[in-house]
Amino acid sequence: MPRKMRVNRANPNFKAIERRKLQQSRHLKRVSDPVAAFTQHIQESPIYSCVSCHRHLYRQTVVKLNMSRCKPESRQLLSVMLAAFNSKKLDQLYICRTCQTYVRRNQVPYQAAINGLKLEDTPKQLRLTELECALIAQRVPFMKVLALPRGRQRAIRGAVVNVPSNVSSTTTVLPLTPAQAVIILIILKRRLRYKGYVMHQFVRPDAIFVLSDGWCKTTSCTVDWTSIRTGTGHAWRKTPRHGTS
C-alpha cells in the first residue's frame, strides 16, 4: 500500500486528481444535505467588506488580502484602493474573488469604488425620517405589506393606492409651534375623514421647509413664502381641525 502511494505521488497530475476527488466529495455532501450546507455558509452575516468594491459579503466569497503575494503593478493598484477604502484595521482586509481576478491582471475591476462608483455621504438636509419623506413626496403609495408564513418574505395583500400629493399645500397645512420648538407631531392619513392613520411620528419643520423651497423652485410652484416666514423664524399658525393633525 505505501508503494502504491509513492507511485501515485510520482504522477505529475496527482495533486489535480486529489483536488478533483475532494471537490466531488464536498459536492456530494452538499447534494445530500443542502439545508445543512446552506446553514453552515450563512452562520456569519455578510460583514466582510471588499477593499475594492466596498460591498459587504459572506466569508466564502472573499479572501484575505496579502500584499506580499501580489505583483508590483498590482500593489500600486491596491494602494489606491486602500486609500479610497479608508480602513483603520489594516491587518483585517479582504477582497472579493471577482475583484481579485482583475487585480491579478493589473486591471481596475468594473465594480471598484475607484472606477467612479464611490458613494458620497448623504447630505444632512436629506437625512429624513419615513414620515418626513412622505410629506415632501409627490406621490404617496399606500399598501398592506405582510410577512409570509414560510420564509418570512414580504408580500402585498390587496390593492395598492397611489395618492398624488401637493408639496406646497402640505407645507401650508403643517401645524406651526412656537419658535423654540424643533419638532412637531404629525399624523398621516389616507383621507382626512378616516379615523385611522398610516404613520404617526415627530418631524422637523425646518427640514421640511428647506426641502420644499428647493422643490418648489424646480417644479415652478407659486407659493408666497414671505407670508409663511417672518424674519429668521416662522410665523406659526393654528391648525384647522379638519386638516392634518
Do 223 and 156 share a structural domain? yes
76 or 181, greater pLDDT:
76
Q: Which residues pair with 185 in a beta bridge?
A: 202
Do 136 and 58 share a structural domain? no
Domain boundary among 115, 141, 175: 115
Which grid cell is 181? 420648538
| Phi, psi of 142, rounded to the nearest 5 degrees | -120, 125
CA distance 108 to 90: 21
User: Is-contact 53 108, C-beta < 8 A?
Assistant: no
Residues 6+ apart with CB under 8 A from 113: 52, 53, 54, 81, 84, 85
The pLDDT, as a whole number, for residue 47 is 87
CA distances from 53 to 56, 99, 162, 200, 232 (A): 9, 8, 36, 38, 44
Does some domain include residue 9?
no
Do 132 and 63 share a structural domain? no
Does some domain include residue 93?
yes
Three-state secondary structure call for residue 39: helix
The pLDDT, as a whole number, for residue 212 is 73
Pick the most confident of 84-98, 143-157, 222-236: 143-157
Three-state secondary structure call for residue 142: strand
User: Is-contact 168 215, C-beta < 8 A?
Assistant: no
Give the model confidence (pLDDT) of 142-163 as tens digits: 999 999 888 778 899 999 999 8
Residues 6+ apart with CB under 8 A from 56: 46, 47, 48, 49
Do 107 and 53 share a structural domain? yes
Residues 6+ apart with CB under 8 A from 215: 136, 167, 221
Do 183 and 92 share a structural domain? no
User: Quick one: which H or E segment has residue 96?
Assistant: strand 94-96
State the first-to-last Cα distance of the chain, in angstroms, to the nearest integer.
86
Do 230 and 130 share a structural domain? yes
Domain boundary among 88, 115, 142: 115
Number of separate domains in the chain? 2
Label residue 2 by pLDDT band (50, 70, 90). Answer: very low
Pick the most confident of 93-102, 127-136, 168-177: 93-102
Residue 99 has pLDDT above 90, yes or no: yes
Residues 6+ apart with CB under 8 A from 199: 130, 131, 134, 186, 187, 188
Does some domain include residue 13?
no
- Would you call 192 exposed, middle or buried from its count of C-beta atoms within 10 A (0-12, 13-18, 19+)? exposed
Label residue 179 by pLDDT band (50, 70, 90). Answer: low
The pLDDT, as a whole number, for residue 241 is 44
Residue 39 has pLDDT above 60, yes or no: yes
Which residue has 481576478 as its cell numbers?
A: 101
Do 43 and 138 share a structural domain? no
User: Is-contact 139 170, C-beta < 8 A?
Assistant: no
Does some domain include residue 3?
no
Which grid cell is 162? 397611489
Domain containing residue 170:
124-234
Do 141 and 196 share a structural domain? yes
Do 154 and 109 share a structural domain? no
Do 205 and 156 share a structural domain? yes
Do 140 and 63 share a structural domain? no
The pLDDT, as a whole number, for residue 112 is 92
Give the model confidence (pLDDT) of 126-142 as tens digits: 888 888 888 888 898 99
Domain boundary among 115, 140, 172: 115
The alpha carbon dihedral of 71, 76, 79, 85 has a sign of: negative
Q: Across residues 18-24, what is the average pLDDT?
A: 79
